[in-house]
Amino acid sequence: MRRILFLVVALLLVCSVSFAKTKGWKSGDSEKYLSWWDKKYQGADSAVIGAVLYQKEDYQAAIAELEKSIQAGSKDGKTYYQLAYSYQQLGNTAKAIELYKEAIKLLDSTEPEHRYDFYSKYNLALLEKDSGNIDDAVLVLKEAVLKFPDEPGARNLLGWLYWKQGNKEAAINEYATSVGVDSNQEDAQYNLGVLYYNKGDTENAKAAFEKVLAINPNHTKASSYILNLGNKNLLSSEEYSSLDMPDPALRHCYLGKKNLDEGKYAEAREEYEAALEINWKTIEAQQGLAVAYEYNDKGERYGDGFNIKKCIFHYEKALLLNPKLEQAVYNLGVLYSKDGKVDEAVNLYLRLIREMPDNAQAHYNLAVLYDNQTKNKERAIYHYSRFIDLDPENPKRADIEQRIRKLRV
């Protein structure tokens, strides 16, 4: 009898090893295994009964059995995952989050259980997102894609969250990596196209939207974007905002960038100002407007009458929203020095060099400030030398080397 019982338990354990509803599992199978289980032996392994009930989607009954197993001291990550999933299906988000976190702790050290580990992380991220904890969801997904780089689902969700946070470059990277793993993802290709479109990268946007239409020829939104890629008949703000998650401010940014590229600086300023009226936190508008104000009415950059105060104001706002905008840091340093704010310019370039020690242009600009403004010869020589080391083929090299020799006298 003991041998027979052992074989039954072993069979049930094998059948219970399944993540997130195996496609081939049928409710009749659950009934069959339950009918095999002699009720007087239920207490022998609550995890097995709980797993069968979980597969049967009888989550309330599954919770009762899986809780018994955990109370008896189980440290099986699968059990915690199944219990968390059951609570999730019954709407108990707080309990599900708590249990998914425990499942991850247990499963992280057991590589054979990788499927449970991945789905614990993915489902936890979903719950954190739905609870408004976007930053926590991002952290979980970053761990997931690091451990499971070929899982496009996690990358797509992470890309979407980056997008919501305003970090569009990171979003593009995640979606691009995801479609690199599986190019037949309609939604991922579409979102990637929208991100490229908002960036003004029409070539990549078109390629992404064409892939969407290859997958689904009836995708009307992708078709609408392709028709407007040339910006000859750009969508209205209302139409644009109805298509996707981005706010209509980005439409004005797209027009602003187009005007900048064509040298229409006054028109660019109007579009970027319109974007900021809709949403002042639009980074593209703050940075684009700063660039547009760098030009005077004659189209001369830093020419007579250019609005240095507004340039500085909008670059500072852009960096407030995203301190890692390299070009904004560099340009703001130039403007500070032109406005006589030498200390601010020096500190800004030092910050940029701390984050990007091989930024040759930052070393050069800092050297010029030390040379001409603060009269610090040693630091000027150091940063001139670093510039030459980093950009040895620069046409300024001979003049800089001559300047270094004079400073050393």
The percent of the chain in helix, strand and coil, each rounded to the nearest 5, is: 75, 0, 25
Tell me if the pTM is above 0.95: no
CATH, residue 18: 1.25.40.10
What tens digit of pLDDT does each residue of 10-24 get?
A: 433 333 333 344 334
Give the Cα separation of 372 and 390 in Å (integer): 22
Instruction: Please enumerate in sequence order all residues whose Cβ is within 8 A of that of 51, keeping only pairs 6 or more positions apart, or say none.
Output: 12, 15, 16, 62, 66, 78, 79, 82
Contacts 24+ apart (CB under 8 A), 9-13: 9/44, 9/45, 9/48, 12/37, 12/45, 12/48, 12/51, 12/52, 13/45, 13/48
Is 9 a domain residue? yes
Examine residue 322 and state whether it is found in any structural domain, yes or no: no
- C-beta separation of 116 from 19 below 8 A: yes
The CA–CA distances, whole Å, from 8 to 18, 123, 127, 364, 390 equal 18, 32, 36, 76, 70
DSSP 19-31: SS--TT--HHHHH
- Tokens representing 302 are 């830093």
- Cβ neighbours of 240 (radius 10 Å): 23
Q: Give the residues across from 295 on adjacent strands.
A: 301
Q: Name every residue whose Cβ is closer than 8 Å to that of residue 334 and which is 6 or more positions away in sequence.
A: 345, 365
Distance of CA 406 to the CA centre of its chain: 49
Residue 408 lies in a domain: no
Phi, psi of 238 (to 5 degrees): -65, -45
The pair of structure tokens assigned to 21 is: 């509803």
| Separation of alpha carbons 116 and 82, rounded Å | 9
37 φ, ψ (degrees, to nearest 5): -85, 115
For residues 322 and 318, give the distance between their C-alpha atoms in angstroms, rounded to a whole number.
6
In a domain, residue 218? The reply is: no
Domain with 83 in it: 1-148
Which range (97-106, 136-145, 257-266, 275-284) has the least confidence? 275-284
On whether residue 23 sits in a domain, the answer given is yes
The answer to whether the CB of 333 falls within 8 A of the CB of 356 is no
Residues 390-399 pLDDT 10s: 999 989 899 9
Residue 273: how many CB atoms within 10 A of its CB? 14
Q: Is 348 within the bounds of a domain? A: no
295 phi and psi angles, rounded to 5 deg: -105, 140
β-partners of residue 301 are: 295
Which residues, other chains included, contact 222 with Cβ-Cβ below 8 Å and sequence gap of 6+? 190, 193, 209, 212, 213, 216
Between 240 and 350, residue with greater pLDDT: 350
Q: What is the pLDDT of residues 357-389, one digit of tens each?
A: 888 888 998 888 898 888 899 999 999 899 999
The CA distance from 107 to 104, in Å, is: 5
Per-residue pLDDT tens digits for 174-202:
999 999 999 988 889 998 998 888 777 88
The answer to whether position 62 is within a domain reads yes
pLDDT digits (tens, 9 = 90+) for 224-235: 788 777 554 444
* pLDDT at 272 exceeding the cut of 70: yes
pLDDT digits (tens, 9 = 90+) for 18-47: 334 433 434 455 555 555 444 433 444 788
Q: Which residues contact 161 (CB under 8 A, 6 or more apart)?
A: 125, 129, 134, 137, 138, 141
Q: Which two tokens stand for residue 125?
A: 């991220």
Q: Is residue 227, in this structure, part of any structural domain at all?
A: no
Q: With contact defined as beta carbons under 8 Å apart, do 62 and 34 qualify?
A: no
Q: Which residue has the tokens 């059948």?
A: 15
CB-CB neighbours of 289 under 10 Å: 28
Phi, psi of 292, rounded to the nearest 5 degrees: -60, -35
The pLDDT > 90 percentage for the chain reads 29
Domain total of the chain: 1
Tokens linked to 189: 């290709």
